[in-house]
């Protein structure tokens, strides 16, 4: 059986079982082992322990539980409620103040957590009820929450970037710097889009201001910012700043961030043994889930590459590159990632296709950091793209039953934000300096 048929069969098998409800951490290794036995290439199984050992002993991946712990501690301290309420008040009488507060908060909370499901659930429970009660447009509200939450995957420090770095052999700090400007640019475009849309059509976001805001002086607003927003903002700046200044590696910065989260929790009087125990337990579950997918993907990629799938994809990309140039090769790789991202969890796709695509990128002489930025941005977009947007299902699972919100509302609300993200991807492709300038300057 040719490598082309085998590779396509393996991918379609994974997608098929996932659509049937199979867990990706189980589907990936079982598919790999199944094809190894069907093709009589069981000798490939002997390579799996080495892959496991390499994944489990990666120093860079220690940052994963540390960043997750930082986000969960902040959640247990009810920082999200305090920051979101403060941002709403500080937005004042701007059109769509709740939506604008949601966008800013998503960027901040995403930078602290980086776990997509946790961000959406938090935003859905905090922001959505407020917007529904205020009479906000359902589509715009849902789209803002889902799209804003997805920024946590691309804005550093991000779990996606932490996993991508060692898998692709790219310095994590470089990826952080490379994705910072594109990530912030996406957030700014979201903010501008919401402001203009609500300004031109006020009925989408009826004026909903917290009563106390009308009598708050400028000094009171400053105090509110210092007491509610500044601690979290300072933590983000401190974590990223320590990396920018070369004081700490991303893993060390993650440890510093975890300590900082504990300090903030103590300042708010929420640091107790019960919260610490729950945070450690939830961190363990999330980390175990991530590592299980990492190990399962290692089995799949070992078999995929051993059965000739990597050679087939490399030949295909090089053939397209010879006919259309580098653009065609990159477009094909990103299109594959985008399509699969609508069906599979981003961790599985990352662990499967990074080891396959990076050698191709090296052959083509493409900057690995720049390509990594495009890869992660496209993977982020696929998570919010209908009809199989993971974020939409996350949000639908927690919306109040009496809200009248359907998947159709969520899908329609997501489309403009998908377009905005695609625009930024195009800009990063046309102007690579958007992702390469900052890491080149800092490192």
Kindly tell me if the per-residue pLDDT of 373 is higher than 90. Answer: yes
Kindly tell me if the per-residue pLDDT of 364 is higher than 80. Answer: yes
* Long-range contacts, 200-204 (Cβ 8 Å, 24+): 202/95, 203/137, 204/96, 204/136, 204/137, 204/140
> What is the largest distance, in Å, between two alpha-carbon atoms of the chain?
76
**How far is Cα 9 from Cα 32, in angstroms, rounded to an integer?**
11
- Please indicate whether residue 272 or residue 123 has the higher confidence score (pLDDT): 272
**Helix (H/G/I), strand (E/B), else coil: 401:** helix
**Residue whose structure tokens are 């997918």:** 293
* pLDDT tier, 246 (very low <50, low <70, confident <90, very high otherwise): confident
Report the pLDDT value the prediction gives residue 117, as an integer from 0 to 100. 66
**How far is Cα 114 from Cα 172, in angstroms, rounded to an integer?**
15
Report the pLDDT value the prediction gives residue 11, as an integer from 0 to 100. 80
pLDDT in tens, 380-400: 998 888 777 777 877 887 777
**How far is Cα 262 from Cα 272, in angstroms, rounded to an integer?**
10
Map out the domains of the chain as residue ranges.
3-442
Report the pLDDT value the prediction gives residue 215, as an integer from 0 to 100. 53
Containing H/E element for 369? helix 368-382
Report the pLDDT value the prediction gives residue 377, as an integer from 0 to 100. 94
Report the pLDDT value the prediction gives residue 212, as an integer from 0 to 100. 44
User: Rounded to 5 degrees, what are φ and ψ at 29?
Assistant: -65, -35
pLDDT in tens, 286-335: 888 878 888 888 888 888 877 777 777 788 888 888 888 888 889 999 99
Q: Which of 90, 111, 234 is closest to 162 using CA atoms?
A: 111
Averaging pLDDT over each range in 199-203, 269-273, 318-322, 418-422, which range is the top one? 418-422
* pLDDT tier, 368 (very low <50, low <70, confident <90, very high otherwise): very high
Residue 37: how many CB atoms within 10 A of its CB?
Answer: 10
- Please indicate whether residue 178 or residue 217 has the higher confidence score (pLDDT): 178
How large a percentage of the chain has pLDDT more than 90?
A: 14
- Mean pLDDT in residue range 15-37: 82
How large a percentage of the chain has pLDDT more than 70?
A: 93
DSSP result, 46-107: GGHHHHHHHHHT-SGGGHHHHHHHHHHHHHHTTHHHHHHHHHHHHHTT-TTHHHHHHHHHHH
- Mean pLDDT in residue range 204-228: 66
């Amino acid at each position: 059986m040719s490598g082309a048929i085998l590779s396509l069969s393996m991918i379609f098998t994974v997608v098929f079982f996932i659509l049937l409800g199979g867990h990706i951490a189980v589907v990936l290794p079982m598919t790999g082992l199944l094809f190894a036995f069907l093709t009589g290439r069981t000798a490939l199984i002997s390579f799996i322990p080495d892959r496991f050992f390499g994944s489990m002993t990666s120093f860079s991946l220690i940052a994963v539980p540390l960043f997750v712990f930082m986000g969960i501690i902040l959640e247990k301290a009810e920082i999200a409620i305090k920051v979101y309420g403060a941002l709403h008040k500080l937005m004042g009488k701007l059109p769509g103040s709740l939506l604008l507060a949601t966008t800013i908060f998503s960027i901040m909370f995403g930078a602290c957590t980086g776990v997509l499901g946790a961000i959406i659930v938090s935003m859905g429970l905090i922001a959505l009820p407020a917007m529904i009660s205020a009479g906000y447009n359902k589509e715009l509200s849902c789209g803002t929450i889902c799209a804003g939450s997805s920024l946590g995957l691309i804005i550093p420090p991000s779990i996606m970037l932490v996993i991508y770095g060692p898998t692709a052999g790219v310095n994590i700090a470089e990826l952080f710097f490379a994705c910072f400007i594109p990530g912030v640019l996406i957030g700014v475009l979201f903010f501008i889009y919401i402001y203009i849309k609500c300004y031109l059509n006020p009925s989408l976001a009826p004026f909903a201001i917290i009563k106390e805001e009308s009598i708050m002086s400028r000094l009171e607003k400053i105090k509110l910012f210092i007491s509610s927003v500044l601690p979290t903002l300072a933590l983000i700046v401190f974590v990223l700043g320590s990396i920018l200044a070369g004081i700490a590696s991303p893993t060390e910065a993650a440890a510093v961030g975890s300590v900082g989260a504990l300090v903030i929790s103590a300042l708010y009087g929420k640091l107790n043994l019960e919260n610490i125990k729950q945070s450690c337990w939830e961190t363990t579950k999330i980390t175990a889930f991530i590592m299980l997918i990492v190990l399962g993907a290692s089995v799949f990629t070992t078999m995929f590459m051993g059965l000739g799938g990597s050679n087939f994809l490399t030949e295909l990309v090089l053939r397209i590159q010879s006919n259309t140039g580098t653009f065609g090769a990159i477009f094909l790789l990103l299109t594959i990632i985008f399509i699969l991202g609508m069906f599979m969890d981003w961790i599985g796709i990352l662990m499967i296709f990074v080891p396959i695509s990076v050698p191709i990128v090296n052959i083509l002489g493409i900057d690995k950091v720049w390509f990594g930025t495009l890869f992660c941005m496209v993977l982020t977009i696929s998570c919010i793209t209908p009809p199989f947007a993971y974020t939409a299902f996350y949000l639908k699972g927690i919306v109040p039953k009496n809200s009248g919100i359907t998947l159709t509302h969520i899908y329609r609300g997501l489309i403009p934000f998908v377009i905005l993200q695609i625009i930024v991807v195009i800009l990063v492709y046309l102007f690579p300096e958007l992702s390469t300038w900052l890491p080149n300057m800092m490192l």
